[in-house]
Structure formats: structure tokens, C-alpha cells
Structure 1
Amino acid sequence: MSKARNLLLASLLLCLHYSPLSGATGPGFVGRITDKGLDYARQEGVAALQQKLAQLTLPDFSGSFRVKVIGRVDYKLYSLNIRSFQLPSSAIAPVPGTGLKVSITNAFAEVTGDWLVKKRWFKDHGSFDLKVEGISISVGLKLGADASGRPTVGTADCAAHISDVKVHFSGRLSWLYNLFHKNIESSFRNTMEGKVCEEVSSSIGSKLQPFLQTLPVTARIDKVSGIDYSLVAPPVASQNSLDLDLKGEFFSLAHRSAPPFTPPALAFPVDHDRMLYFGISTYFFNTAGLVYYGAGEMNFFITDDMVPKEFKVRLNTTCFKPFVPQLEKLYPNMLMKLQVSPSSAPSLTITPDAISLSPAVDIRAFAILPNASLASLFVIGASTTMSAKVSVNSTKIFGSLKLGKLQLSLKHSDVGPFSVQLMEAIMNYLASSTLLPAMNARLAEGFPLPLPDHVELSSAFLQLRQDFLLFGADVRYG
């Protein structure tokens, strides 16, 4: 089985784990492989199996038959070579509670080899051609997961049947041996049927299963977080598709703990235009916010050198005097520094109309003293509504944010009372010109989809649904 086909099948089988993990919770990431996706896997899998069967090593055959007058003659068939093995017709179907059933019909093969017969007083040899027709193969694949959530696959059952075997001998006395072909054909049929299933089981056990075990169920994003894509519940098989539940959860690399909220129930639609569908819930995004908030990665500092040069209001006590009257008296002509910190982890909401979040942050202002230490000035609470856009390519999901108007309130002041409303325009400008570009730059780097290396998605689309993004795509590999 080629590496490319291994990758493709592993990508699809990753979505078909059948053994739930202990202590599992609801999914933050759900998926569906449609009949179109299963059929694509069938085509690639059968093509790989055809290559393997064409390389079968067949054993030598030996036996004896009785000829009038001559008596019993010993024979041997050796150097058997499969010249062609064709699998023209096949089908795949989900088997609820077990896995997949692959059926192959009307297959045929051509075999060549040499023959040898001997009696005590004579010996003869030549070549033969053998045609095998009406081969049918039925293979059951049992799919599951190990304790870590990695996929497993094994042969649940295999049956092969050959309808017709025809052998033709060539050589000096071949006409005589052709009279006794039925015994040879029967022996070959039994051997060939066993070898076919042996090769099927061997390919699954030695090629596909070890490869599946190399698939990661987590993806490291950066120094702070990773994503857990492990299985949390058995898939549900229907007549046309296989559904799956993945954890779909960001986690801290420093200290992993369970989020204080659970995934929402998702009303997954019945769509079959694409090979593969994912439902990416708010849980997926909100665990990201929780991890980065807990790691302090959402704390930002704004200094004067970050403010665009064309903006006339600089980040110093002189420019802020009109808004905070006591400021320049206490800290004359000093640069300022702002620390922006969320007061809680952001929570994202998805509806059929929009993606939004309503963060609340604290803006702490400091004066930078001549000795470079900081003097606390005031704390402003800011709230806003942000809208988000999400896009995908063949391997990643991306995001971008649009900032709404900040609403300010004074939480604490070390420089006397003042009206924060006068400061709203400045704070809105600073947020949109410094904080927003930094956040969007990170989101533009993207987050990986749960796919193995070299497997990509095409014809992808995104739709907004209640509490989740519906992502559909076809599978391709390269």
C-alpha cells in the first residue's frame, strides 16, 4: 500500500474510532464521513489492495494422478507468477457497532508457471497458463481506539470465493495432462482463496495499523497551548454516513486541567455534498480563550512608540492633561504606559447570523518615572462587542476580529476624579491601532485541522450554525 494511500485512509479512519475513552466528556468537535467520502476511501483502498494481490507469492503444488496403462504419475507446479490481478467492482458500507464492510465482486487473475511430471521410467516438463475468474472478497474492518485516543483497525472477518479456475498445459505431452486438470484446479482454488484473505489481513496489520498508531491525537500550537483531537464517544453508523465525536479542546502545555464549562449540544445537519464535515463548536474557541487568559498571554502593554506617528495625542502626561487635570501636576512631562488585561476569559458566541464576543478588560495607566519605575495613575474598565470572521484553507482554520466601540468606566484613580467619557475617542483609537493588529496577526497564523501530514482538503466551505461552525470539504492528498 503506497504511502499516499496510507495517508488518505488514515485521514478518513481517524474519524472512525469505535471505543470511547474512559472519563470522556461531550465533543467540542464533531464530524461526519459521508457516503461520498467512504466511496473515495473504497476506491483508493481497493486500488492499493489490487497492487498487493498482484504481488502475491503462490506456493508450489504437487500431487499425483492415475493414467490407464501407465499407472500413477507424480506432478509438480512451480514458479507460479501472477501476471495480472484485477478488482473491477467493489462496494463499501458502514456496519453499525462494528466498522466497515468492503465487498469485491467479479475479480479475475491470470497466473503462469511451469510444470513437471515424472514416473520412474520417464520425466516431462513444460509451462502452463491459469485463469481465475469470478473472485469475490468480503472484508470486515473493526475500528476502534486505544486508551490514548489513537485509532486502531483490524480484520473482523474475511471471506474469499473463486467461481472458476481454468488451467491449460503446454508441452510435448500436455494433451495428456490437460485431461486431469480438475484436480489441479480444485487444489489451486482452495489455496488461492486462503492466500487472498491472508494478504488482506497482513496488509491491514502490517501497513495500515502501524501507520494509524503514528497519528498524533494532539497538535502543539505554540509555547502555550495544544489542541486535543482525541475521540470521546463511539461514532454512530447510519446507512449513508459515519458520525464521530472528538474532544476538540485547547489545553495548557504547562498545566492541563478540565475547563469549567461543557460543550454545547450541536444540531448537526444532514448534508452529503462533501466527503467530510466538521462541526467546530464554541467550546473549541472558548477553551482557547481560557488557556491563553490563564497563561497571561492576553495581557498587552501599550507605549508611546507603538502609537502611530501621525496621531497627535501622544502617550504622555502632557497630552493627557485635558482629560485628567491633576496628572501633569503630579507627574509633569512624563511618558505613560498602559496595561490592558481581560478581567475574565473571553467567551465567543456563534449564531446563524454572526460570530461575536463581548470582552471586558481593565486598562491600567502608569507614569514612567525618571528611574524607569512605574507610578500607578488610574484603572479604567472597558467593555465592547467584537465581531469575528473565520476562514479555512486546505489545512488550517483562520480568524480575524473587528472591534466595536469601547464603553469606559472609572474603576480607580490615584490622581483624583475625572470623566472617562472624554477619553473614549483616544482609547478606541489606541485599541484599534495597536491591540487589534496584534490579535489579528496571531489569528492569521491559523490553527491546524485534525489531518495527518500531506493530506489536504479541497472545495472547503464554512457556514454559521447555532453554537458551531459547519465546515465541509472533499479530501485530497499530495
Structure 2
Amino acid sequence: MDPHKVFLMLVLPWLVAATTDSTPACKIRITRKGLELVKQEGLRFVEQELENLTIPDLSGNEGKFQYTISNVTVTDLQLALSDLHFQPKQHFVFYINNASISLSFQRKLLFWVFYDIGSINASAEGVFIKTEVRMAKDMAGRLKIANMTCEASIGDMQADFDGTLSSVYGFLGSFLITGMRYLLNRQICPLLNHAGLVLLNSVLNTVPVRKAVDNHTGIDYALLSDPDVTYDTLDMNFKGMFFHLKNENDTLPNLAVSPVIKEQDRMVYVGLSEYFFDSAIYAYYKADVLKINITEEKMPKDLELLLRTTYFGNILLLKPEIASAPLKLEFQVSSPPRFIIKPQSTTISVTATADIFLVPTDLPPEQLSSITMELKLGAKVLMKGKKLQVQLDVKRFRMYSNQSALESLALIPLQNPLKTLLQLVVMPIINERTKQGVEIPVPEGMDFIKETVTNHAGYIVIGGDIHFSTSLRDVIEKYRTAPSPQPTAAE
């Protein structure tokens, strides 16, 4: 055998597998506009965290003074200047400049035989905070804050003293303020590191990775690589593959074109390839749920009459009690449909069978015929909140008999009535199922608004803005005590 052919036979399966594993069917881009909204919500979160600063009690001796400072609380916070921006290749940079923090605390002072208690109001001015956050995928394919660096400094700190010993506080004041400044400065970064690595990661845990969509299928949203960050965007590549829950390894290889997102005008963009939809249809096909039964009471009367007329000869050969039995149509997809995305249209090619039965009471159904149908369905992709939905309608329809060409000719009068049945009865049932939708991989509390859908050759791009339907704080509080999700065997 030709050595080149041998080489191709050995290498080609590996290349296909490698392409399948590394080709994303779902891409998400966050732009600067989206980051600005995240900054606003994140700033509220940082304010709430800093307001909960816990500063330990301070006590000791200074010459003839004995002092204790306790119950330190933040009374006011002014974050005048702040910014959040992308930093290539995996980072966010967040900084606060020229902020002020007002504090109050209790004092107990002993000077010789004089004992004094009371409160002190202090303010930290010129507070500077800078954090760098590195994003990465974890072992399960989930987006995580992998690392944080933090710098914090306080430009100036002042305190107002009153009480019986106020005349001598000047001596002790600078010492106490220096101590308070040191303690406050040491608390800021640990608090923010915990907020990011623990609390914000608990929000990222709400993004679906590999989960059930319904009783039949699941979806795999594992990240294929670390996010790619430029000065203007953050791009994430997801597997975007559906699977049959009872046989998770029986999946289609991803040979589709990968989505390409070039736009930056909206806050968020989601790119979905044909494979995303094909894998969904394939999973439902393997679950054997792509079938619908239409009983006689749901048929238009003219269709029932046409069916009985068309198969009158077959019915005559049956027993009288069977010949008068109700009719039933059983529609079933005979091969996995194909989702086709073009710049001007989105369609699904379907080959199905329509089996026609008489259904006598207390007797087995009697099949009259089996019809092959070829359909082209128009597909409209929608985003509602963060659920992706597809609405279908019949664009083209033709049918022929599996028995003979002669019977195919006899079926011509059934063409339009059956198409009408599909449009008025079958498609509403299917659309009611697809209305349930599937979530895209974004954290809980975030929803899409003002969506637009753009078709390309082999993929679609959904652009939109986002808003927080639930505050970041509320999501964190909901999952604060919940354990981190355990990866499944498949993860």
C-alpha cells in the first residue's frame, strides 16, 4: 500500500478527534461596554465589603499611657475615582484612587490616676487600592478567578478627640493614628482577596458546565481554553455540545466552522455554530423523542375524509369493525435532521415518516401505509433573558410513498392537507417544547436585553446588552454557605 495512504489512515482519525475536542461551538465575548456595567455592580459590591471591614482591637502602653481601642466600625465610604479595565492576556485590573474611609471606635485611656473612656472619629484620606485579577479555566472547564494581586495604601489619617484628657491627646494622637492606619491598611487586601477568590468565584460557580437540560438531554459548556483578553474584549471558547443522558458518549464530531465574533458595539456577544444545534437535534434523535402522534379528533375533517378515500381499497380488505375504526397519524423523524445557517436564512432539513393507522378499540392498530416526508423548516433563533429558544415553521414540504410510484401519485391530493396539519397542529406542539429553551453559560442574576441576531455562513452571532436582574450581593448571599459544586465523572 502507498505509504502516504497508510500515513493518512493513521493520522486522520487523530486529527478529527483533535479538531472535535478543540473546536468551540459556542463563543462569548464581553466588550468594554459590558465591563462598564460589571464595574458599576462590582463597585457596589466592593463598597459593601469595605463597609464590613473588621479591624482588631488595639491596646498597649506608651510612657505613662495605657490605652485600648475597640469596636472599630466604618461609618462612611467615598470611592471618588474607580476604574475596571481589561489587561492582556488574562487579566482584569481594578483600582480605586483618592477614596476616603470614615471610622469610629471606642477608647479607654489611663494616664497616671486619670481614667478616660469615649469615642473617636477618624478618617482615612487618599486611599488607593489596585487589584489585578487573573481569569482561567479550572480542571472541570469552569471559569475561575485563578489569582489576585492587591496593593493598598492610605495617604493621610486624622482623628478628632474629646473628653477630659483632650489636652494631652496631642501627644498620644499621632501614635494611635499611626497604629490605626497600619491596621486598616493591612485589612483591605485580605478582605478583597477573599471577596474575589471565594465570594466572586461562588458566583462563577453558578455558570452551567455540564448539566441536564431536561429528562432526555444535557449540555456541555466546558471552557476549551483560558479566556483571551485584549484591551477591548474578553473572549471565551466553550464546547457547546448536547448529549443524550442515557448514552453520553454517543455524540456527533464537531466538523462545523467555528463562530467568529468581530463586533464590539454591544455589551455581550454569543456566537453559536451549526454544530451547537446539530448536536442538540442528534441528542433528541438518539433519545427517540422526535415523534408525534395525531389522533383522529385532532385532524381536520377534510384530511380525515381524504385519508379514508385515498386508502379506501386497503380499508375494504379489512373486517368491518376495523374499517370503521378511528384513524391515527404517527410522525417520526427517520434520520438526524441538519441545521443549516446561511447569511440570509436559518433552516432545518428533516426526513421523516408518517405512518397511517386504523386504531380499533381493544385490537392492535392496523397500518394502512407509510409515507416518507422531506421538510425544510424555517428556524428563528431568539434569546429571552439568558435562555436560547428556537421557533420553527414549515417552509417546504414534499412526500412520497414507500410502497410504489403509483401510490405516490395517489398521494398528491394529500400534499396540501398534510402540510396544513403540520403547520397548524404539529409545529405548535414542537414550538411549545422548544420554548423551554436552554441557558447560555452566564452567571446567575445576569440577563440579556435588546437582543439582535445576525446570520453568517455556518454560525449565528447574538448581540445584546445585559442587566443584573439579581444583585451580585444577593447571588453571593444565596450561595455563601453552599458547598462548591462537585465535578461529575464526565468532568
TM-score (normalised: structure 2): 0.81
The answer on 1:168 being equivalent to 2:165 is no
| Alignment partner, residue 91 of structure 1 | 83
User: Which runs of 5 or more residues in structure 2 are unaligned?
Assistant: 1-19, 471-491
Cα RMSD of the aligned pairs, angstroms, is 3.0
Shift of the 191–383 alpha-carbon distance from structure 1 to 2, 3 Å rule, reads same
Report the CA distance between 1:465 and its aligned residue.
Answer: 2.3
Does residue 40 (structure 1) correspond to residue 29 (structure 2)? The answer is no
Residue 225 (structure 2) aligns with: 233
Task: Report what 1:390 is aligned to.
Answer: 381
The aligned residue for residue 293 of structure 1 is 285
Contact 1:169 1:175 in 2 (8 A): no
SS at match of 1:315: helix
Measured after TM superposition, the shift of residue 345 of structure 1 is: 0.4
Partners of 1:33 and 1:391 in 2: CA distance: 19
Structure-1 separation of matches of 2:26 and 2:396: 32
Q: What is the rounded CA distance, in whole Å, between the counterparts of 2:36 and 2:408 in structure 1?
A: 70
Aligned to 2:419: 428
* 2:460 pairs with 1:439: no
1:254 aligns with 2:267: no
How has the CA–CA distance of structure 1 residues 334 and 132 changed in structure 2, closer, same or farther, with 3 Å as cutoff?
same
SS in 1 for 2:305: coil
Whether 1:355 aligns to 2:346 is: yes
Relative to structure 1, the CA distance from residue 84 to residue 155 in structure 2 (aligned partners, 3 Å threshold; closer, same or farther) is farther
**Aligned runs of 1:325-340 on 2, under 5 Å?**
326-331=313-318, 333-335=323-325, 336-340=327-331
Query: Is the aligned partner of 1:410 residue 2:401?
Result: yes
Q: 2:296 aligns with which of 293, 300, 304?
A: 304
Alpha-carbon distance in 1 for matches of 2:94, 2:395: 54
SS in 1 for 2:248: coil
Amino acid at match of 1:411: N
SS at match of 2:301: coil
* Cα separation, 1, equivalents of 2:424 and 2:415: 14
1:275-305 CA distance string (max 9 Å, x none):
2211122212111110111122112334433
Aligned partner of 1:5 in structure 2 is none
Q: CA deviation at 1:64?
A: 4.5
1:282 aligns with 2:274: yes
Unaligned runs of 5+ residues in structure 1 are 1-22, 67-71
Offset of 1:211 from its aligned partner?
A: 4.3
Contact (CA 8 Å) 2:446, 2:466: kept in 1 or not?
yes
| Cα distance per residue 1:421-466 (max 9 Å; x no partner) | 4543444344334333322232234333334554322222222222
Q: Secondary structure at the match of 2:402?
A: strand
Equivalent residues of 2:148, 2:193 under 8 A apart: no
Distance 1:134-1:420 versus aligned 2 partners, 3 A rule:
same
Q: Which amino acid aligns with 1:327?
A: N
Superposition map of 1:6-21 within 5 A = none
1:100-149 CA distance string (max 9 Å, x none): 22111111112233444434454455543322111011122233343333
Question: Which deviates the most, 93-102 or 328-337?
Answer: 328-337
Change over 3 Å in CA distance of 1:212–1:404 after alignment to 2: closer
Q: 1:190: how far off? A: 1.9
The normalised TM-score by structure 1 is 0.83
Q: Whose helix fraction is larger, Structure 1's or Structure 2's? A: 2
Percent identity over paired residues:
25
Partner residue, 2:95: 103
Give the number of aligned pairs. 446
Q: 1:425 to 1:416 in 2, by over 3 A?
A: closer
Tell me how far 1:408 sits from its aligned partner.
Answer: 2.8
Output the amino acid matched with 1:178. G
2:257 is the counterpart of 1:265: yes
Tell me whether 1:77 sits opposite 2:69 in the alignment.
Answer: yes
* CA 180–263 in structure 1, closer or farther in 2 if over 3 Å, else same: farther
Q: 1:264, 1:467 within 8 Å by CA — same for their partners in 2?
A: yes
- Structure 1 residue identity aligned to 2:428: P
- The answer (yes or no) to whether the contact 2:449–2:466 under 8 Å persists in 1 is yes
Which residue pairs with 1:19 in the alignment? none
Q: 2 CA distance for matches of 1:44 and 1:289? A: 38
Which amino acid in 2 is paired with 1:401? Answer: L
Counterpart in 1 of 2:439?
448
The answer for the alignment partner of 2:120 in structure 1 is 128
Q: Distance in 1 between matches of 2:427 and 2:293?
A: 13
Query: Matches of 1:124 and 1:416 in 2, distance apart?
Result: 107
Partner in structure 2 of residue 29 of structure 1: 26
Would you say the 8 A contact 2:206–2:443 is kept in 1? no
Quote the Cα distance in structure 1 between the aligned partners of 2:271 and 2:333: 28
Residue 193 of structure 1 is matched in structure 2 by 185
Question: Contact conserved, 2:259 with 2:272, CA < 8 A, in 1?
Answer: no
Q: How many angstroms apart in 2 are the aligned matches of 1:96 and 1:449?
A: 25
Indicate the residue corresponding to 1:61 in structure 2. Answer: 58
Report the alpha carbon displacement of residue 346 of structure 1 after superposing the two structures with TM: 0.4
1:119-158 matches, within 5 Å, as 119-125=111-117, 127-153=119-145, 155-158=147-150
Equivalent pair of 2:244/2:250 in contact (CA under 8 Å):
no
Aligned partners of 1:111 and 1:303: how far apart in 2? 75
